[in-house]
Amino acid sequence: MKLNKLAMFTALALSTSAFAAKVELEVASWKGAGTEVANFPVLIKKFEQENPDIKVKLNYMSRNDMVTSIPARFQAGTPPDVIMVDQDFITHWGGNGQLMDIGDQSFVSRIQPDLRPYLGLDDKTYYAMLQISGMGVYVNDDLFAKAGIKAYPETIADFTAACDTLNAKGIQPLVLPANNGGWTPYIFFLAMGLADGDVPSQDRLAKFNNGDIKFADDAAMKAAFESFRKLIDAKCFDPKISAGTDPWSVGLTTFQSGRVAMLPQGLWNITPFMNDSLPENFSVHPFPSATGSSGVTLDYIGPGWAIPTAAKDVDAAKKWIDFWTHNQNLKVFLEADTGLTSLAGGTSGLPESVAGDYLKARDGLHYVTFPVGALPVDLTRDMVNDIVSFMLDPKQDYNVILKRWDEIVKKDIAKR
């Protein structure tokens, strides 16, 4: 009897000890809840099943909230164990020594070789990129059909001709929402300005950044400004209405309600548009080219996982990152978030029925890459403002604008 009681108490003590020793892994993310659930509950459950000694605590917050919340926790010395980051956060937090160098982890070899330079700063790797969040032009297929447009226009000449056709049918062709940051005109401009041909050179952004290419001497950047003029002359969009439209609210509802035929936006809106069936029939395409004959997609280097240097459970955090960077797991997220995979040979999450033209363009290497935070802060701010200003007053001499951008780069280089 005494032995049985002893065995029972020993088993109870061991089970209690095991429960107490269970690691709680805090993950801070702007995906996983709200309107961006992105299959997180499924993946968290799978991770916990494969790692029974770890319990995940998802700390969901908007990206804007992370700008203030995470630095405060860095300052207090109590950051989450894993944080979702993008290139902008890498630049600031990695540059300040607040993120751990995880370049020795096995996930690095699974990332596409062309993407590995974007995983950190200098020779250090700070995050595991989960996806490429591409950007393109959404088309209301029913409005195109009503106007008799059978093929998406991939050059500025064809695009402006399509605008003429849509306008003749009483259909507003395009909206470029510029309120709350000027984001949409900026990405539309960059898709044209960074492409120096049908197969764009992928090092152009870096060369602008280090002064090897001058904005004022670049034919593609000048062509992007000229293209804006042509779009405005063809009444593709109303500059004043676009300047007052928010890209994250009114811009989306304007397109979904059928009041406009085209809207530049990110791939992440495919799933909510499909779920709402608004518009009922839509597709996603590359941006029109200003210098070539094929449309151009814009790759936004997407978010991923990083580990703060002061994280309390580093081993568990590394297991979390390793879990996400295997194709069988990552594709579950990408299918829900409609993103392109960051893994070599991985599975992307774009539906062919909606994004077939987009995928065809990108597979044909008709794309440019734009990592947020890659350009100097002052330059980014002025570029956004100048592009919106030009949109409202296209009679400006854009050569003056381009020379000013070169001066900002020159001053930034001097401070590095």
CB of 140 closer than 8 Å to CB of 261:
yes
Percent of the chain with pLDDT over 90: 86
Q: Tokens for 251? A: 């811009």
Residue 358, classed as helix, strand or coil, is helix
* Per-residue pLDDT band at 2 (split at 50, 70, 90): very low
Which of 138, 151, 149 has the alpha carbon at shortest distance from 282? Answer: 138
For residue 1, pLDDT beyond 50: no
CA distance 220 to 222: 5
CATH code linked to domain 135-300+355-415: 3.40.190.10
Arithmetic mean of pLDDT over the chain: 93
For residue 3, pLDDT beyond 80: no
Angle between helices 183-193 and 377-392 (to 10 degrees): 100
CATH class of the domain whose range is 19-115+303-343: alpha beta
pTM for this model (two decimals):
0.85
How deeply is 96 buried, as exposed, middle or buried, from its count of CB atoms within 10 A (0-12, 13-18, 19+)? exposed
Mean pLDDT, to the nearest integer, of 73-98? Answer: 95
* Residue 197 CA from chain centroid, whole number: 23
CA distance 394 to 226: 9
Query: What pLDDT is stored for residue 35 in this prediction?
Result: 79
Which of 267, 288, 6, 261 has the alpha carbon at shortest distance from 140? Answer: 261
Over its C-alpha atoms, the chain yields an Rg (Å, rounded) of 24
Using CA of residue 183, residue 184, residue 185, residue 187, what is the dihedral sign? positive
The per-residue DSSP string of 37-100 comes to -TTHHHHHHHHHHH-TTEEEEEEE--HHHHHHHHHHHHHHT---SEEEE-HHHIIIIIHTT-B-
pLDDT in tens, 150-201: 999 999 999 999 999 999 999 999 999 999 889 999 999 999 999 999 999 9
Q: Which letter does DSSP use for residue 346 in this model?
A: P
Query: What pLDDT is stored for residue 50 in this prediction?
Result: 98
**279 preceded by cis ω (within 30°)?**
yes
Residue with tokens 């009897």: 1
- Which amino acid type is present at position 153? P
Contacts by residues 272-281 (CB-CB < 8 Å, ≥ 24 positions apart): 272/35, 273/138, 274/351, 274/354, 279/140, 279/141, 279/142, 279/255, 280/142, 281/140, 281/141, 281/142
pLDDT in tens, 87-127: 889 989 999 999 999 999 999 999 999 899 999 999 999 99
Q: Which residues neighbour 394 within 8 Å (Cβ) at sequence distance 6 or greater?
A: 228, 229, 232, 239
* Per-residue pLDDT band at 16 (split at 50, 70, 90): very low
CA distance 282 to 144: 10
Query: What pLDDT is stored for residue 4 in this prediction?
Result: 54
Q: Parse the chain into domains and list their residue ranges.
A: 19-115+303-343, 135-300+355-415
Mean pLDDT, to the nearest integer, of 337-356? Answer: 95
38 phi-psi bin (left φ>0, alpha ψ -120 to 50, beta other): left
CA distance 101 to 197: 36
- Which amino acid type is present at position 393? D
Q: Which residues neighbour 78 within 8 Å (Cβ) at sequence distance 6 or greater?
A: 310
Q: In 97-203, which residue ranges form alpha helices assigned H by DSSP?
A: 141-147, 156-168, 183-193
Mean pLDDT, to the nearest integer, of 342-355? Answer: 96
Would the CATH topology of 19-115+303-343 be identical to that of 135-300+355-415? yes
* Per-residue pLDDT band at 13 (split at 50, 70, 90): very low
pLDDT in tens, 259-277: 999 999 999 899 999 999 9
The per-residue DSSP string of 277-341 comes to T-SSSEEEEPBPBSSSSS-BEEEEB--EEE-BTT-S-HHHHHHHHHHHTSHHHHHHHHHHHT-EE
CB of 81 closer than 8 Å to CB of 366:
no
Length of the chain equals 416
How deeply is 152 buried, as exposed, middle or buried, from its count of CB atoms within 10 A (0-12, 13-18, 19+)? buried
